[in-house]
Structures are given as structure tokens and as C-alpha cells.
Amino acid sequence: MQIYDLIQKTRRLVPLSETEIYTLVEGFTKGEIPDYMMSAWLMAVCCQGLTAEETSALTMAMRDSGECLDLSTLGVPTVDKHSTGGIGDKTTLLVAPIVAACGGHVPKMSGRGLGFTGGTVDKLESIPGFCVDLPQADFMRITEEIGCCIISQSGELTPADKKIYALRNLTATVDSIPLICASIMSKKLALGASCVLLDVKYGHGAFMKTPEEAVLLADLMVSVGHQAGRECRALITDMNAPLGSCVGNALEIAEVIRILRGEERGRITELSLALSAQMLVLLGKGDVVECRKMAEEALTSGRALEKFAAMIAAQGGNAAVTEDLSLLPQAEVQLTVRAPESGFIREIQSEEVGLACLGLGAGRTADRAKIDPGAGVVLSRFVGDEVTKGDPLFTVHGSSEALCENAAQRLLQAYSYSEEYTEPPQMIYKIVE
Ligand code: URA
């Protein structure tokens, strides 16, 4: 089989067979197909798309490129959750203990941040001692005993995705619906949870810019999940404004703890409860109204906080952070910036907030680059709020005055104001079942 012919076929909208797709993925993973040929094929996919059958075959070929976990040995249904990435998105850290406190089991492998979006694993690593690289046996044991365990993506799972994603990042071929679907779903299927909840984001801080595009991606991912025999649902959610009040690793852990303690509530809490309810529905714990009530009770009773503390301790971290936030890394410099004008906040461009945090060292621009766990931003005012010139708007946390000043200038550009009240974006656009 000539790889040249496969590139030509995709370019000319001639569907590839399952065998041809497996040949491409296997050949590239083993290093037999050179980067330039795979790049050409990926670009053909970006421009011409793939059929649903081709996308499904690509997902399975990527899943089968490495090890697949067998979670059935736990003897209980398990639920995984995936977000397509957002600014300040710490929902995994809220839903995992909430669902565990309701008797569910959440085995979760998460990624590190790259570019302007943060990674759950980086956030957890800001807790002193927290270990994200656990052996599989410990991962299974902690999931069984506590109900949730979050570790970093194992290198043995989906090596094809690792290689293909790296190439996509270099060749402007990331934002393609079939490629994103195959990348995410191959990892979800290899992890082996019986149910999968997807949080597909749209807006200027997300891969999908419009809700319509996000629905297309969600439909495809849910259908690939069903074909592979998984219970699967997706929520289409807004990413036009940062999620929650904090962006940055330790700052987001502190926010999670304040929410679990019942000291804060907002859009992020509402979204987390909605996601938790859907995960509990997938696990067969009841209908959506009952499951939402269960999730709310787990949060307000403090049982979710207990689960979070238990998970931190089981993964080697200092669980005392749940009682004393000063044990988390703190930035040396904190710069509070005030509103330059009066009015209603019409928009806070989340991508700009992400980029400002990246500049502070809260994220990484290269794989494996070191990050500053204490850096980030705390927003004091949100979309829809009325501000008077001089009111505190946000506080920048960083390692130097210069870094904080730069970030502050960028952040100020992310805000726009209006004379009239603007309704904050609706959090959940649609549920795809
Ligand atoms: N997240 C992934 O894991 N893969 C993609 O292609 C995009 C987002």
C-alpha cells in the first residue's frame, strides 16, 4: 500500500478503508511513515474532513496503538469525564470528589497544560507531595477505596495520539473535528471506563468557536463512544469567559477547596453540579433531577471535601491544604489592578486571560517546560458586574513586578465595558445524548 495514494484519496474525498487507516496509524507510530507524509495526510483531513466511519476507524486504530486498561476488574461501573479545554477549568477537581461522595467511581487520567489552557495534572502537582505518576495497581486501588483517583496520562496508552498530536501542534492541524474526536476518544476508550461524560466547550477560549461547531464535535464523539459500547453523553458549554475566579495552578486548587468548603459559589459550581449529575445518571444512580440533588447534597454536606482530602492523602499529598490554604505555593508579587472606567463588564476574553497567565509562567509553551505553580490571576469582577472607575478588577500573582505589570496590561485589554447590563453567557448550551 502506497502512503502517497492514501494522501491523494483523502485529498480527493475518496474514503479510506479501515485497513488503510490502521496501516497509516501503525506505520506512523512505529516510525515507518515519515513526518512529512503524515503531515500531508493530516492537512488533507483538516481541509477535506473524514466520514463518520473513517473517524471511528481512526479512533480505534489510535486506541489499539498501545495498552488498554481493563477497569472491569473493579467490578463496578466507572465514569470518566473529559473537557475539551478551557481557561480556569477546574471542573474535574470538583466533579471527581462530588461523584465519589455519591458512591460513584471516577478513575481519571489527565493531561498537562500546553499553550494557554491549563492542565489538571499541573494544578494537582501544586499541592505539596501530590503524586500524579502512580503505578496502575495503586490507581485501581485508590479508585476502588476512595472513589476517585487522578493521575497523569500513562505513556503506554495511545502512543499514536502522542506522536500525532505533537505533529499537529507543529503543522497547524489541531483544529479539525475528526482529528480532535479521534485524539480524545482514543484516550477515553483506552482508559476503559464504562461511561464517558464529555464537556465540549465553545467560545474564544476554546478550539470550537461556535456552539454549532461544538455540537458537531460532540455528536461525533458520542457516536464513536456508543459504537465502542460505552455509555456516553456530552454537555456543550460556554468558554467565552474564564471559568471561576482564579486562573493559575495553586490559585485554582485554593478556589476548588473554597468551593468544596461552601465558601464560594458561582458559574463554575453550577457547571460542576450539572456535570456531576450527568455522570451519576450515566452510572445509573437515578434521573437527572435526583442526581443533581445527590450532587448538591454531597457538596453542601462537606462529604465531597472529605473525598478530596482523602484522595490527596492517598496520592501522597499534604491533605492539610484543605484546612490551611497558606500551605499552597504563593507568588512573591501580587498586583491589584483597578477598573480604568465605569460601566458594566460586557466581556472578559478568556483566551487573553490564558495568554496573560502563560506569560506569568503559569502555563508552558514547550512540552515538559517548568511552570510557576503560584502564578496566575484572581478576578474580582465578572461579566455582567457593574464597576466604578477605581474598583479592584483583578489581582495578578507572579514572581516579579515586571512580569505582573506585563500581564496586567494584557489583562486590561481583555475587558470590554458597556453602559447597559449584559447578561453573562449561558453556561450550558445543549446536552447531546
Ligand atoms: N485535546 C486532545 O486531547 N486532543 C485534541 O486533539 C484536542 C484537545
Query: How many Å lie between the centroid of ligand 1 and the Cα of residue 332?
Result: 33
Q: Is residue 429 part of a domain?
A: no
CA angle 295, 226, 140 (to 5 degrees): 55
pTM of the model: 0.93
**CA 79, CA 139: separation in Å to the nearest integer?**
14
Residue 77 in grid coordinates: 461501573
**CA 97, CA 103: separation in Å to the nearest integer?**
10
Cα–Cα distance list, 318 to 254, 308, 370 (Å): 13, 11, 21
59 C-beta closer than 6 A to ligand 1: no
Q: Is residue 44 part of a domain?
A: yes
Task: Tell me the catalytic residues.
Answer: 82, 161, 168, 183, 187
The CATH number given to whatever domain includes residue 340 is: 3.90.1170.30
Same domain flag for 294 and 344: no
Same domain flag for 341 and 304: no
Closest to 61 measured CA to CA, from 113, 91, 99, 20:
20
pLDDT in tens, the chain (433 residues): 799 999 999 999 999 999 999 999 999 999 999 999 999 999 999 999 999 999 999 999 999 999 999 898 899 999 999 998 888 999 999 999 999 999 999 999 988 876 667 789 999 999 999 999 999 999 999 999 999 999 998 778 999 999 998 899 889 998 899 999 999 999 999 999 999 999 999 998 788 999 999 999 999 999 999 999 999 999 999 998 889 999 999 999 999 999 999 999 989 999 999 999 999 999 999 999 999 999 999 999 999 999 999 999 999 999 999 999 999 999 999 999 999 999 999 999 998 999 999 999 998 877 778 899 999 999 999 999 999 999 999 999 999 999 999 999 999 999 999 999 988 878 999 999 8
Query: How many Å lie between the centroid of ligand 1 and the Cα of residue 180?
Result: 5
Question: How many domains, in total, are found in the chain?
Answer: 3
Domain end point (choices 322, 346, 378): 322
The CATH number given to whatever domain includes residue 29 is: 1.20.970.10
**CA 156, CA 152: separation in Å to the nearest integer?**
11
Residue 102 in grid coordinates: 455519591
84 C-beta closer than 6 A to ligand 1: yes
Same domain flag for 313 and 195: yes
Q: Is residue 432 part of a domain?
A: no
146 C-beta closer than 6 A to ligand 1: no
Same domain flag for 255 and 350: no
Same domain flag for 249 and 390: no
Number of Cβ atoms within 10 Å of the Cβ of 426: 9
Q: What is the pLDDT of residue 114?
A: 66
Domain end point (choices 293, 322, 351): 322
Closest to 147 measured CA to CA, from 232, 72, 233, 76:
76
Same domain flag for 136 and 272: yes
Q: What is the per-residue pLDDT across 310-331, written as a single tens digit (0 to 9) for each?
A: 999 999 999 999 999 999 999 9
**CA 98, CA 401: separation in Å to the nearest integer?**
38
Nearest CA to ligand 1 atom 7: 180
Query: How many Å lie between the centroid of ligand 1 and the Cα of residue 132?
Result: 20
Same domain flag for 59 and 79: no
Q: Is residue 423 part of a domain?
A: no
Q: What is the pLDDT of residue 10?
A: 98
Q: Is residue 425 part of a domain?
A: no
46 C-beta closer than 6 A to ligand 1: no
The CATH number given to whatever domain includes residue 95 is: 3.40.1030.10
Same domain flag for 359 and 335: yes
Best of 176, 184, 185 for a ligand 1 pocket test (most atoms within 8 Å of beta carbon): 184
257 C-beta closer than 6 A to ligand 1: no
Q: Which amino acid is at 161?
A: D
Same domain flag for 57 and 75: no
Same domain flag for 31 and 126: no
Nearest CA to ligand 1 atom 2: 184
Q: Is residue 206 part of a domain?
A: yes
**CA 20, CA 349: separation in Å to the nearest integer?**
42
Residue 279 in grid coordinates: 455522570
Same domain flag for 219 and 336: no
Query: How many Å lie between the centroid of ligand 1 and the Cα of residue 185?
Result: 9
Looking at ligand 1, which atom is closest to the CA of residue 165?
6
Query: How many Å lie between the centroid of ligand 1 and the Cα of residue 84?
Result: 7
237 by DSSP, 3-state: which?
A: strand
86 C-beta closer than 6 A to ligand 1: no
183 C-beta closer than 6 A to ligand 1: yes
Nearest CA to ligand 1 atom 6: 180
Q: Is residue 161 part of a domain?
A: no
186 C-beta closer than 6 A to ligand 1: no
Domain end point (choices 297, 322, 347): 322
180 C-beta closer than 6 A to ligand 1: yes
The range of the structural domain enclosing residue 414 comes to 330-418
Handedness of CA 310, 243, 276, 223 (dihedral sign): negative
Same domain flag for 27 and 83: no
Query: How many Å lie between the centroid of ligand 1 and the Cα of residue 167?
Result: 12
Q: Is residue 128 part of a domain?
A: yes
Query: How many Å lie between the centroid of ligand 1 and the Cα of residue 109?
Result: 14
